[in-house]
């Protein structure tokens, strides 16, 4: 009877393994469109000084992978972490929470948390807290990005000096010929509530500010992993562009993410988005 029970367990295990292979939750491709595994990606990523991890904000599998990438790098290297999801004027709150000065309740109540903080970003922040890692709130305060969308970049000059410490140094130069910015202007500019190009300038204010705080907090000898929406670094633009502009000597590698109906091969639209592209099923698990 015991032998039969053990055999049934083994059969079930094999069926689960086969099922997982037939219906994978993700597939990784390099920028040439070749399938690679997680280990191969991690081996190459550890050559980078800065890793830009572009996500789909509601994709549960990608958030799990962010934590796995972070753990894998941390096994070999000291780390600094940063994220779009936390705004620069909340850095004091972030530091106080990570250092045990304030409770998590105060942190989440007084900080500007995204609605999926608990399910998607708390695990990485908990990892930072447990392992005494610095975590940088890199994004421009959303009220200032909104200001740029309504009135243009010149409106930032009128801010108080303290407010300017929470954004990239002025003036912020913007290359509106970047493919991502051009797409925003063409598809969303007319509905932005201001001059069409201001929607791209607003996006650039985020990209420039995130790059600024990445560089400001980069430490030689440590790896820096930054989490953000994939659009912010797709096609080696956005944050990547401003990092290269700020310090071309640093090696920056990018991860992009995309959803597809069929993840067995990468679509032409998603090929070459980044050094590595993680493709997940459109009907995969979503956090909202």
- Which residue range forms the structural domain that includes residue 173? 26-281
- Tally the domains of the chain: 1
What does the pLDDT read at residue 14? 36
Q: Are 222 and 78 in contact (CB under 8 A)?
A: yes
What does the pLDDT read at residue 118? 97
Give backbone dihedrals phi and psi of 283, rounded to 5 degrees, phi first: -95, 20
Say if 109 falls within a structural domain: yes
Say if 16 falls within a structural domain: no
Say if 75 falls within a structural domain: yes
How confident is residue 194, by pLDDT bands cut at 50, 70 and 90? confident
Q: Is the pLDDT of residue 247 over 60?
A: yes
Say if 56 falls within a structural domain: yes
How confident is residue 17, by pLDDT bands cut at 50, 70 and 90? very low
Say if 3 falls within a structural domain: no
Say if 68 falls within a structural domain: yes
How far apart, in whole angstroms, are the C-alpha atoms of residue 48 and residue 46?
A: 5
- In terms of phi and psi (left: phi > 0; alpha: psi -120 to 50; beta: otherwise), the region of 105 is alpha
Percent of the chain, pLDDT > 90?
89
Q: Report pLDDT digits (tens) over 136-159.
A: 999 999 999 999 999 999 999 999
Write the DSSP string, 218-246.
--TTSEEEEEEEGGGTGGG-THHHHHHHH
Residues in a beta bridge with 55: 229
**Tokens 């367990």 found at:** 9
How confident is residue 12, by pLDDT bands cut at 50, 70 and 90? very low
Q: Which of 15-24, 155-164, 182-191 has the highest mean pLDDT?
A: 155-164
CATH number reported for the structural domain that contains residue 225 in this entry: 3.40.50.11550
Say if 205 falls within a structural domain: yes
**Tokens 């992009």 found at:** 256
What does the pLDDT read at residue 53? 98
């Amino acid at each position: 009877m015991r032998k039969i029970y053990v055999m049934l367990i083994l059969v079930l295990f094999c069926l689960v393994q086969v099922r997982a292979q037939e219906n994978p939750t993700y597939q990784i491709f390099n920028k040439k469109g070749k399938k690679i595994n997680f280990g191969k990606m991690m081996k190459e990523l550890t050559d980078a000084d800065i890793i830009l991890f572009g996500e789909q904000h509601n994709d549960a599998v990608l958030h799990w992978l962010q934590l796995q990438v972070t753990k894998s790098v941390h096994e070999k290297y000291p780390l600094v972490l940063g994220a779009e999801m936390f705004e620069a004027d909340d850095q004091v709150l972030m530091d106080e929470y990570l250092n045990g000065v304030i409770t998590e309740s105060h942190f989440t109540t007084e900080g500007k948390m995204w609605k999926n903080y608990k399910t998607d970003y708390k695990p990485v922040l908990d990892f930072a807290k447990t392992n005494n890692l610095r975590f940088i709130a890199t994004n421009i305060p959303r009220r200032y990005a909104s200001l740029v969308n309504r009135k243009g970049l010149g409106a930032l000059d009128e801010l108080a000096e303290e407010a300017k410490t929470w954004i990239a140094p002025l003036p912020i130069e913007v290359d509106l010929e970047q493919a991502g910015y051009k797409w925003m202007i063409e598809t969303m500019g007319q509905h932005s509530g201001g001059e069409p190009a201001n929607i791209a300038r607003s996006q650039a204010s985020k990209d420039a500010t995130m790059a600024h705080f990445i560089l400001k907090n980069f430490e030689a000898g440590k790896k820096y992993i930054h989490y953000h929406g994939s659009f912010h670094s797709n096609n080696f633009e956005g944050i990547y562009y401003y990092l290269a502009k700020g310090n071309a000597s640093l090696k920056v590698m990018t991860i992009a993410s995309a959803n597809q109906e069929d993840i067995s091969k990468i679509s032409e639209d998603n090929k070459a988005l980044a050094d590595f592209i993680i493709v997940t099923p459109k009907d995969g698990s979503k956090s909202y």
